[in-house]
Amino acid sequence: MAEQYRADVLVSCLHDRAPDLLPALQKEVEQRGLAGEVRVVEAGCRGFCSLGPVLLIEPEGTFYVGVQAADVPELVEETLVKGRVVERLTYREPTTRKRIPRYEDIPFHRQQQRIVLRHCGLINPTSIEEYIAVGGYQALGKVLSEMTPEQVIEEVKKSGLRGRGGAGFPTGRKWEAARKARGDIKYIVVNGDEGDPNCFMDRALMEADPHSILEGAIIAAYAVGAHHGFFYIPFEHTLSVKNVRTAIEQAREYGLLGNDILGSGFDFDVEIRIGAHCFVGGESTAVMAAVEGRASEPRSKYVHTTEKGVYNRPSCLNNVKTLSIVPEIILRGADWYASIGTEKSKGTTVFSLAGKINNVGLVEVPMGITPRELVFDIGGGIPAKRKFKALQIGGPSGGFLPESLMDMPMDYETLDQAGAMMGTGGVIIADDHTCLIDTVKYFLEFLQEESCGKCTPCREGLPIMHAILTRFTKGEGSVADLEVLESLARSIKVTSLCGLGKSAPNPVLSTLRYFRDEYLAHIEQKKCPAGVCKALVTFVINDNCTGCAACVRKCPQNAISGELKQPHTIDQSLCIKCGVCRDTCKFDAISVA
Amino acid sequence: MPKITNLAELQQLRQQLQRDIKARTDTTTTITVGMGTCGIAAGAREVMHAILAELDRRGILAHVTTVGCIGMCSKEPLVDIQQGNEPRVTYGNVKPDMVPRLIQEHIVEGHVVDEWVVGRVAG
């Protein structure tokens, strides 16, 4: 007899923060004699990472955030035994300060449309049984018993699905090319390297729902005519490797991988290949090089990988997110998928929200959402009542969008035209205390380190751009520098081989386009309006000062003095311009001179 | 474990496994057991176990939830059954041996067991 649980406690977004939480929950459930009726499940990431560890208690749908082991006895007693909500653990909406006890009512969740992340945080990723219970492998069954490979390709083409790795190449067309390519041996490559640092959406998917990717990969193999696949994962994603490995083993045991899958006569198996994570490492030809055991460097693509890829055989490479969407398209139909999104960018996309935003985490929304909806509705707005300044999208080599584009529907095309890009969907929010020159400098530092060095413009050009920006932040730049910066950026963009070099100038070009004033302030007025570039900043106390002494206590240099209830002053000779006083002040009494 | 050799087997397996995660699946039936101190003292836990076992035996997908004391301690254990938009029906002084009949008549056949009802609330 299957165990009949009345309640499931789904624990997500642990991310090593509370290693004692799960054991404590299990122990408490057992001690209270609830072991046969309440089940504790370690589910994958729910996207609510900033508030983790989070607990979803079903069937009630009660949602707790920031749960620690010390909360367990009260939580079990109140919620699991007596069916009451523990108010203090519920989510508090950042703008209205209202507590929302049910997961479904939280705006962060309510305004999402989850297709890629449909099972994330809802099932145990290490249990193929739970995946099958929610409808897993039904699409594969349908494909193998009812559809020809051509019909599968046609369906995917009709859905308008485009590669979610970043470039947005139509998936159906890629599959078709790989199917038509000559050769008796063909490969499927599953790309689990998102390249973008600290974006972690591919990692979250591999950790939370590996079977959906696997199912998509088997369908792709059937469509393309491949019998062998490589699942490429960077070694840093240890939990991804573990969960994907478990998933592959389970699928083999059930006969969903191997020979004669579901009695169809179709054979396919997949092996894991592990590489080292780097920024270019997610590029398709770099992944294929890594799969072969070589250094992950991109090559020129005048011969398509669908003709000559891994070991010079026709290879079909897809991002993990792309593959996980495929079973849904098969089950719910191409028309359903094509009805979501914009004219040219169909379906949903996953964004990773970070920076100056209240709800940091992963969200999935229909293509065509505006930055305003993303930041203020789903993202919960900017913390500490600061003002929005820019939205950076597309990873370190993406572009910055200004307030004036906040109502632009975002898809592959519009973002490209605006000088940004979809990329893997990394979004960073900058507020009015963020200096964009400094931020661009930071991105260039990253990019020049990650450049593989193959092409001269990228290898030599990025350090020069970085040096110019460094001068700007010190107040040493000139308007002539600005012109050099701009022409350098344009030439790197057109003369580099791979996506890294081609997109690396984006942060510079987009800020020059939308935030030129900020450059000019640094160059001509020798000022940093955001108050970040230390050489250009003087903090002064203005008339708003109430003399509360909050800043006096926080200043690490003891540079602020003054009587209580009398305006304070800053001793400029002691000030190190860290800005702590400004962040502490509740009265906007500290300004940048 | 046995290999799945065709789509029909896969679908059959899914139906079995679905019951295992029913707490996370939408259902139209919710059974609520009063589990305040009064309820537990009157034997609510045993009643709930009987409900879980009966649901499992019959393969019925229904949510079973717990609530605290509603104030009618003398009638505990109290069991509420709500189906779709029907009024919520409260049964009082429920004993484990009453559970099979409750589930058979109320949930399977759709007749409220009037003699055990202590209250109804519009859904």
Within a domain: A118:
no
Neighbouring C-beta atoms of residue A456, cutoff 10 Å: 12
Picking from A337, A356, A377, the residue at the C-terminal end of a domain is: A337
Within a domain: A59:
yes
pLDDT at position A261, please? Answer: 96
Classify strands A54-58 and A7-12 as parallel, antiparallel or unpaired. Answer: antiparallel
Within a domain: A2:
no
* pLDDT tens digits for range A23-64: 999 999 999 888 888 999 999 888 888 888 999 999 989 999
Using DSSP's 3-state secondary structure scheme, residue A405 falls into: helix
Using DSSP's 3-state secondary structure scheme, residue B37 falls into: helix
Picking from A382, A408, A431, the residue at the C-terminal end of a domain is: A431
* pLDDT tens digits for range B49-83: 999 999 988 888 889 998 888 888 899 999 999 98
Nearest CA in chain B to A34: B45
Whether the predicted pLDDT of A593 surpasses 50: yes
Using DSSP's 3-state secondary structure scheme, residue A63 falls into: strand
Same domain, A325 and A192: yes
Whether the predicted pLDDT of A1 surpasses 70: no
Picking from A523, A558, A577, the residue at the C-terminal end of a domain is: A523
Which residues, at least 6 apart from A360, have a Cβ–Cβ distance to it below 8 Å?
A49, A50, A353, A354
Run of H or E including A270: strand A269-275
Average pLDDT, chain A: 92
Q: Per-residue b/e over B39-60, b at no fewer than 16 CB within 10 Å?
A: bbebbbbebbbbbbbbbbeeeb
Same domain, A30 and A139: no
Same domain, A370 and A274: no
Per the CB < 8 Å rule, is B6 touching A145?
A: yes
Is residue B64 within 8 Å of residue B31, measured between CB atoms? Answer: yes
Same domain, A86 and A139: no
pLDDT band at A3 (very low <50, low <70, confident <90, very high): low
Rounded to whole angstroms, the Cα distance separating A61 from A102 reads 5
Q: Which residue type, as a one-letter code, is found at position A389?
A: K
Rounded to whole angstroms, the Cα distance separating A62 from A75 reads 11
Cβ contacts of A82 on chain B, cutoff 8 Å: 35-36, 66-68
Residue B20 Cα, gap to closest chain A Cα (Å):
7
pLDDT at position B121, please? Answer: 81
Nearest CA in chain A to B57: A1
Per the CB < 8 Å rule, is B30 touching A130?
A: no
Nearest to B14 among A1, A5, A135 (CB): A135
Same domain, A303 and A448: no
* pLDDT tens digits for range A317-373: 999 999 999 999 999 999 999 999 999 999 999 999 999 999 888 999 999 999 999
Residue A109 Cα, gap to closest chain B Cα (Å):
16
Rounded to whole angstroms, the Cα distance separating B38 from A199 reads 51
Residue pointed to by tokens 């409900």: B51
In chain A, how many domains are there?
Answer: 5
Residue B116 Cα, gap to closest chain A Cα (Å):
23
pLDDT band at A2 (very low <50, low <70, confident <90, very high): very low
Cβ contacts of A59 on chain B, cutoff 8 Å: 22-24, 27, 30, 63, 65
- Comparing C-alpha atoms, which of A544, A537, A528, A536 is closest to residue A588? A544
Residue A77 phi/psi, 5-degree rounding, is: -60, -50
Per the CB < 8 Å rule, is A4 touching B13?
A: no
Top-confidence residue, A516 or A94: A516
Question: In this complex, how many residue pairs, one in chain A and one in chain B, have their CB atoms less than 8 Å apart?
Answer: 107
Domain housing A233? 128-337
Cβ contacts of B11 on chain A, cutoff 8 Å: 138, 141
Using DSSP's 3-state secondary structure scheme, residue A54 falls into: strand
| CATH number, domain with residue A563 | 3.30.70.20
Alpha helices, DSSP H only, in A394-478?
412-417, 436-450, 456-473
Top-confidence residue, A319 or A111: A319
pLDDT at position A35, please? Answer: 87
Residue pointed to by tokens 């070991």: A311
| CATH number, domain with residue A359 | 3.10.20.600
Q: What number is the ipTM of this complex? A: 0.84
- Comparing C-alpha atoms, which of A107, A106, A109 is closest to residue A118? A109
Same domain, A398 and A284: no
Within a domain: A161:
yes
pLDDT at position A500, please? Answer: 83
Per the CB < 8 Å rule, is B5 touching A2?
A: no
Domains detected in chain B: 25-121 (3.40.30.10)
Within a domain: A461:
yes
| Nearest-5° Cα angle at A241, A240 to A242 | 90
Q: Per this entry, what is the length of chain B? A: 123
- Chain B residues at the A interface, defined by Cβ less than 8 Å, are 1, 3-7, 10-11, 13-14, 16-24, 27, 30, 32, 35-36, 40, 45, 48-49, 52-53, 55-56, 63-68
pLDDT band at B123 (very low <50, low <70, confident <90, very high): low
Residue pointed to by tokens 């035994």: A81
Rounded to whole angstroms, the Cα distance separating A445 from A398 reads 14
Within a domain: A533:
no
Nearest CA in chain A to B35: A82
| CATH number, domain with residue A253 | 3.40.50.11540
Enter the pTM of the model.
0.91
Nearest to B6 among A5, A36, A262 (CB): A262
Within a domain: A244:
yes
- Comparing C-alpha atoms, which of A503, A357, A522 is closest to residue A437? A522
Nearest CA in chain B to A2: B20
